[in-house]
Chain A
Amino acid sequence: MKKLISLILAVCMLLSCVAALADVKETVTGAEALTHDELVALAQAETGNFVVYGNTSRIETAVTAFGELYNITVESSNLKDAEIYTKLEAEVNAGSGADMVMIQDGAQLTYAMEDGWLVNYVPASVKEFIGEDDLLPLVHQYINKLFIYNNLGEAVPAVKNVWELTDPAMKGNIIFKNPESEQVNMNFLIMLTGEEWSAKLAEAYKVWADKDIELGEYKNAGYKWIAEFLSNCTFGSSDTTIAEEVSQETAAGKIGLFVLSKLRSSSVLTDNLTVAQYDASANGYTVEPFAGFMYPMYALVSAAANRPYTAMLFIEYLMTAEGFGPWGKSIGAYSSNVQIPAKEGDLGIETWKATLVMEDPEYILDNGDEVRTFVSKYIQ
Chain B
Amino acid sequence: FVVKQLSKMDEEYDVIILGTGLTECILSGLFSVSGKKVLHMDRNSYYGGESTSLTPVQEVYKHFGSEAVPNYDKPRDWNVDVVPKFLMADGKLVKLLIHTNVTRYLEFKSVEGSFVWKSGKVYKVPSTDKEALASSLMGIFEKRRFASFLQWVMDYKQDVPSTHKGVAPNATMSEVVAKFKLDKNTVDFLGHAMALYRTDDYLSGPFLPTVMRIRLYTESVMKYGNSPYLYPLYGLGEIPQGFARLSAIYGGTYMLNKPIENVEKKDGKIEVTSEGETARAKFVVGDPSYFPDRVKKVSQVVRAVCFLKHPINNTSDSKSCQIIIPQNQVGRKHDIYVSSVSSTHNVCSSNYYLAIVSTTVETANPEAELTPGLKLIEPIAEKFIKTSDIYEPLDDGKESQMFVSKSYDATSHFETTCDDILDVYKRVTGEDFDFTQVKKDSVEEA
- The answer on A and B forming one complex is no
A: residues with CB less than 8 A from B are none
